[in-house]
């Protein structure tokens, strides 16, 4: 029922390795010599890198090292005629396990990608940052999660936060689901233990109940983050259900109330959204973003005087909150208070020029 410290450390270290992409064997295909040197320098710190300046050279290396290459990182358009997409398909035929990152400054229609799909392929548009590149390399290891059975829910939760942070919301939700599954089993185990001690020993059973409650509260966080994932995916209905579960476990989770409010607002239900924001404000009156969200809903209902009060509250908490100044200015303009509106817009320019 309880993980040993050694196992948890091992699992978290493995999780870190997946997230960092450490130890990957990458076939880098790039005809631009300067860019090749830059990418190689960045990648070789934690990876084994094979370099090729053409598709012909890349195929030659791959024929020799195909069982040792984890990722093909290739430019889409090459000077020798073969595209990066064709190169990827050829290599995939020789080694079905290979993952692919294609880079390009051009925009491609989905039909150009043929059978390439997001299970093993990523498109990285140029220009890209070093962080974006390393994030894509990290995600190449994410499919391994489907075959892993981490026993520590914190590992899954950490993965979920990571994927959410880089915009991979569907993958984040998968990780949150795993964390919830583990948490539920562990909570049930502690509840069962409390009953056993109550009936047989009548000793320390309250500690088990407290442990079950502690796990449930952790579950609340995971349900909340899962809701944020669905919201980012444009699925407010699913998000609301997740936030509802989080609130059911922990009614004082201001972030969950705020997330539920945002999802309701997305569906056009501004009145119920405001009710959620009010509860979140009651729990945490110093949250600028909740005041801002309430202001948006009030403005959407045409109650601009009340909206202005909310935006003013957000500004009071953070005087450099440019978005709140802008929205306050819009509501003032709607009320015909043009001079005050202009002052707000001037404030936005001052903040953004800092």
Task: Residue 103: give its domain's CATH number.
Answer: 3.40.50.2300
Residue 189 belongs to domain spanning: 154-249
Q: What are 196-219's pLDDT values in tens digits?
A: 444 444 444 444 444 444 445 566
In a 3-state reduction of DSSP, which class is residue 101?
A: strand
Q: Do 46 and 120 reside in the same domain of the chain? A: yes
- Residue 196: its pLDDT value, please? 43
Q: What are 28-51's pLDDT values in tens digits?
A: 999 888 888 888 888 887 788 999
Would 37 be classed as within a structural domain? yes
Q: What pTM was computed for the model?
A: 0.54
Q: How many domains does the chain have?
A: 3
- Residue 166: its pLDDT value, please? 61
> In the chain, pLDDT over 70 holds for what percent of residues?
69
Q: Do 105 and 35 reside in the same domain of the chain? A: yes
Would 11 be classed as within a structural domain? no
More confident residue, 26 or 183: 26
Q: Do 281 and 318 reside in the same domain of the chain? A: yes
Q: What are 316-339's pLDDT values in tens digits?
A: 999 999 999 999 999 999 999 999
HSE of 48, CA atoms in CB hemisphere, 13 A? 7
The answer to whether residues 175 and 159 touch, using CB atoms and an 8 Å cutoff, is: yes
Q: Do 125 and 50 reside in the same domain of the chain? A: yes
In the chain the first and final C-alpha atoms are separated, in Å, by 53
CA 122 to chain CA centroid, Å, is: 16
């Amino acid at each position: 029922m309880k993980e040993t410290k050694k196992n948890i450390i091992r699992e978290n270290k493995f999780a870190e390795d997946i997230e960092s992409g450490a130890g990957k064997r990458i076939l880098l295909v790039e005809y631009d010599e300067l860019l090749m040197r830059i990418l190689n320098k960045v990648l070789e710190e934690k990876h084994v890198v094979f370099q090729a300046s053409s598709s012909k050279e890349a195929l030659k290396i791959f024929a020799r090292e195909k069982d040792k290459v984890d990722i093909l990182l290739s430019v889409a358009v090459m000077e020798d005629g073969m595209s990066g997409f064709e190169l990827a398909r050829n290599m995939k035929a020789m080694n079905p396990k290979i993952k692919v990152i294609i880079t390009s400054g051009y925009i491609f229609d989905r039909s150009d990608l043929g059978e390439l799909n997001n299970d093993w392929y990523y498109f990285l548009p140029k220009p890209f940052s070093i962080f974006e590149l390393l994030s894509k390399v990290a995600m190449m290891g994410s499919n391994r999660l489907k075959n892993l059975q981490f026993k520590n829910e914190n590992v899954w939760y950490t993965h979920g936060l990571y994927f959410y942070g880089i915009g991979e919301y569907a993958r984040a939700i998968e990780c949150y689901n795993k964390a919830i599954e583990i948490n539920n089993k562990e909570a049930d185990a502690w509840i069962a233990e409390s009953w056993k001690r109550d009936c047989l020993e009548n000793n320390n059973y309250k500690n088990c109940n407290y442990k079950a409650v502690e796990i449930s509260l952790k579950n609340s966080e995971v349900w909340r983050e899962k809701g944020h994932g669905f919201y980012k995916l444009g699925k407010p209905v699913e998000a609301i259900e997740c936030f509802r579960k989080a609130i059911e476990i922990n009614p004082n989770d201001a972030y969950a109330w705020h997330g539920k409010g945002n999802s309701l607002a997305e569906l056009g239900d501004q009145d119920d959204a405001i009710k959620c924001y009010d509860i979140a404000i009651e729990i945490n009156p110093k949250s600028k973003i909740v005041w801002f969200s309430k202001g948006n809903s009030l403005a959407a209902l045409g109650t601009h005087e009340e909206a202005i009060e909310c935006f003013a509250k957000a500004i009071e908490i953070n005087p450099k909150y440019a978005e709140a100044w802008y929205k306050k200015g819009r509501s003032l303009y709607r009320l015909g208070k043009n001079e005050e509106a202009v002052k707000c817009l001037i404030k936005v320019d001052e903040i953004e020029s800092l």
